[in-house]
Amino acid sequence: MNITELKSALAAHAGLTVQLTLPDGRAVPAHYHVTEVGHVAKRFVDCGGTFRTSETCVLQVHFGSAQDDGHRLTAAKLAHILELAKPILPSDGLSVEVEYEDEAISQFPLAGIAVGAGSLVLQLGEKHTDCLAKEKCGIATDDDEDRDNAGCCAGAAAGGACC
């Protein structure tokens, strides 16, 4: 989900509080704060030698002590925070991720938005690692089940290029 879609939902439901739901169904404590809005640009090379880039908008959330329990973020306030970040966000087409510390600091892609029980619910999705050079590494893809799927670099023994 991108910034445009998020802003649209926030504008349509400005008076609602914003609830964050983790992929396992648990809610982030309701008294969280959005402490940062960031434009994260990543330049990297994959294990097959291809140079790549990715860009996202990351909303960092944090909650303090139980003394902060009266704090609730409204959709209007989150829209205002995104407006303040406009000078650093190159495009409203950027995908949105939420950075949250539970047992470890994790980033969750924004997977969906729904209205429920007086709140605008932002459903967070899962993020996984992947080999981006499957063909060079000899890893089967969903479209090619006949390829060797013994792991990254399985094809290296047969002269394939891999990490």
- Note the pLDDT of residue 83: 97
- Note the pLDDT of residue 136: 87
Q: Are residues 137 and 99 in the same domain?
A: no
Q: Are residues 32 and 91 in the same domain?
A: yes
Comparing CA positions, the residue from 150, 154, 112 lying closest to residue 136 is 154
Q: Are residues 51 and 117 in the same domain?
A: yes
Q: Are residues 120 and 86 in the same domain?
A: yes
Q: Give the tokens for residue 38.
A: 């960031």
Residues of the chain short of pLDDT 50, as ranges, are: 146-150
Burial, 88: exposed, middle or buried (Cβ in 10 Å; 0-12, 13-18, 19+)? exposed
Q: Are residues 78 and 95 in the same domain?
A: yes
Total number of domains constituting the chain: 2
Q: Are residues 43 and 103 in the same domain?
A: yes
- Note the pLDDT of residue 103: 87
**Which domain does 89 fall in, by range?**
3-124
pTM metric for this prediction: 0.84
Judge contact between 115 and 13, C-beta under 8 A.
yes
Q: Are residues 12 and 90 in the same domain?
A: yes
Please give the distance of CA 37 from its chain centroid, rounded to a whole number: 12
Burial, 2: exposed, middle or buried (Cβ in 10 Å; 0-12, 13-18, 19+)? middle
Please give the distance of CA 88 from its chain centroid, rounded to a whole number: 18
Judge contact between 150 and 137, C-beta under 8 A.
no
Q: Are residues 112 and 139 in the same domain?
A: no
- Note the pLDDT of residue 148: 44
Q: Are residues 43 and 68 in the same domain?
A: yes
